Chain A
Amino acid sequence: MKNGASFLLMIGLLAVSVPVVAHHGNASYGHAKQLTLKGTVTEWDWLSPHTLLKIDVKDDHGVVNWIVEWNAPSSLINFGINKKTFKPGDEVTVFIITPDNGAPVGRIQRVMLANGTWLRG
């Protein structure tokens, strides 16, 4: 049962990886990999056709500002996400697809707010 639930969880995550409105897919990130990052919001840009969340992420070598895209505003509003959902200083965890060339960019699959709520868009 536990394995079954894990499998369902896995395909659920894969399913939401396809953007619902964008005109490019996951191939945009070449040989992409998945990554979970915890950091502090520096900017939340409510742009069209791609919203951008910028977060400072600390690692052993210092702080890196990651820029991760999310769906268009016209999609996100249908999931209760708006231009005030994030503000600088917010602690978030993002689950992203990122290219394997090391560039600190990617596409959001899920975001966890400081209160532990995971958001999809």
Chain B
Amino acid sequence: MLNRFVIPAVVLAASMFSLPARTQNAPRTPFPAPDPNAPPVAQNQEKHVDGWYKEVPVPPKDQKSALAPRHDLSGIWEPAAGWRDGVQFLGAKEYPSDGKPQHELPFTPLGEKTWKSHKPGFGTTEVPIALNNDPFDTCDPIGFPRIELFNLRAIQILQTEKQVLIFYQNDRTFRSIWTDGRGFPPDDISEPRWYGYSIGKWEDDTTFVVETSGLDERTWIDNVGRPHSSDLRVEERFHRVNYDILELTLTIIDPKMYAKPWNALNKFPLRLQPADFDLREMICSPSEQAEFDKQVSRPAIANSKKK
């Protein structure tokens, strides 16, 4: 019985307990000391459900998959390593903001300066929520590529003769990726968009490559405020490894902010879900967020500057 609760706690701790240690070089709020009268570990069990409250089956580890179909990404997909694997609260999966040297991004001076001007709620530069300037905190559209670099949850992909459409659980939004051979609209007349302009083509039978540009500078690349300029181009490579697994590699190309391209996702695995999987509504409600700010986040830091 002890193992039933303690082992999951240790596993969870192993992945998260190192957070403060990773940020030794950054100012950070000390984590509160453990309460000696702390309650026991929880007794409810985790059970992943879809939007219809139907339990999502866990596939066997030795799952046998059929071959990937040709030029077909259609279906409902979730992070293969578990529904939380795409949360990325510390920023892009491959480059979490944790203070480790290998996760430092190749910022240009402008990139560094712009990043420092962003005040996120997580990572080595985190601030109290009432003091941050995360555009998503007022429920602005999460935008692209952050839609895939923060809370990448369930997605549904549909294909038509001229488009690949991706529907996202997060923000309950979608993107159109044109496959009819068109190029980008002219720079001098097109307006920036929260989700940009996307065109895609099949590189081979199972690899679909998407280029996106025209992205609104107000969006952050990820949850820790990595910046981008209006010159940002994003490449996504969707590689269907077999019938059940789709890998996503996402590359950031923005010479104004970064001295070289970097992979925010590298073969991030998504697993095909049953056709009756319901995508849950997951919306940042501006009025509900405003209530939260009024009732919780602002009182939480009131008078704190005096201390």
A33 within 8 A of B: yes
Shortest Cβ distance from A35 into B: residue = B35
Chain A residues with CB below 8 A from B137, complex form: 23-24
Q: Complex formed: what's the CA distance from A16 to B43 in Å?
A: 13
User: Are B12's CB and A47's CB within 8 A?
Assistant: no
The 8 Å CB contact of A19, one of B45, B46, B89, B285, is B89
User: Are B34's CB and A14's CB within 8 A?
Assistant: yes
Chain B residues with CB below 8 A from A119, complex form: 42-44
Q: How far is the CB of A121 from chain B (nearest CB, A)?
A: 8
Shortest Cβ distance from B299 into A: residue = A103
B169 within 8 A of A: yes
A114 within 8 A of B: no
Shortest Cβ distance from A99 into B: residue = B300
B184 within 8 A of A: no
Which residues, 65 to 121 on A, are CB-close (under 8 Å) to B?
Answer: 67-69, 72, 74, 77-82, 93, 95, 97, 99-101, 103-106, 110, 112, 117-120
Chain B contributes a number of interface residues (CB within 8 A of A) equal to: 74
User: Are A33's CB and B13's CB within 8 A?
Assistant: no
Shortest Cβ distance from A93 into B: residue = B39
Interface residues of A, dominant DSSP: mixed
User: Are B288's CB and A48's CB within 8 A?
Assistant: yes
Contact of A30 with B29 at beta-carbon distance under 8 Å, contacts A93-B39, A120-B42 already known = yes
Q: Complex formed: what's the CA distance from A49 to B139 in Å?
A: 9
Q: How far is the CB of B49 from chain A (nearest CB, A)?
A: 6
User: Are A25's CB and B300's CB within 8 A?
Assistant: no
B41 within 8 A of A: yes
Chain B residues with CB below 8 A from A63, complex form: none
Q: Complex formed: what's the CA distance from A34 to B289 in Å?
A: 24
How many A-B pairs fall under 8 Å by CB? 209
Which residues, 252 to 307 on B, are CB-close (under 8 Å) to A?
Answer: 280, 282-285, 288-289, 291-292, 295-297, 299-304, 307
Q: How far is the CB of A96 from chain B (nearest CB, A)?
A: 10
Most chain B Cβ neighbours within 10 Å, of A21, A24, A52, A105: A24
User: Are B301's CB and A99's CB within 8 A?
Assistant: yes
Chain B residues with CB below 8 A from A78, complex form: 46-49, 83
Contact of A105 with B299 at beta-carbon distance under 8 Å, contacts A28-B121, A30-B29 already known = yes
B2 within 8 A of A: yes
Q: Complex formed: what's the CA distance from A80 to B42 in Å?
A: 12
A64 within 8 A of B: no
Most chain A Cβ neighbours within 10 Å, of B35, B84, B284: B35
Chain B residues with CB below 8 A from A20, complex form: 84, 87, 89
Q: Complex formed: what's the CA distance from A72 to B280 in Å?
A: 12
Interface, chain B (partner A; CB < 8 A): 2, 5-6, 8-10, 12-13, 15-17, 19, 28-35, 37-49, 53, 83-84, 87, 89, 120-122, 126-130, 132, 134, 136-137, 150-151, 153, 169, 223, 280, 282-285, 288-289, 291-292, 295-297, 299-304, 307
Q: A16-B42, A24-B122 are in contact. List 5 more A-B contacts (CB 8 A).
A: A12-B10, A17-B31, A18-B16, A50-B292, A105-B300
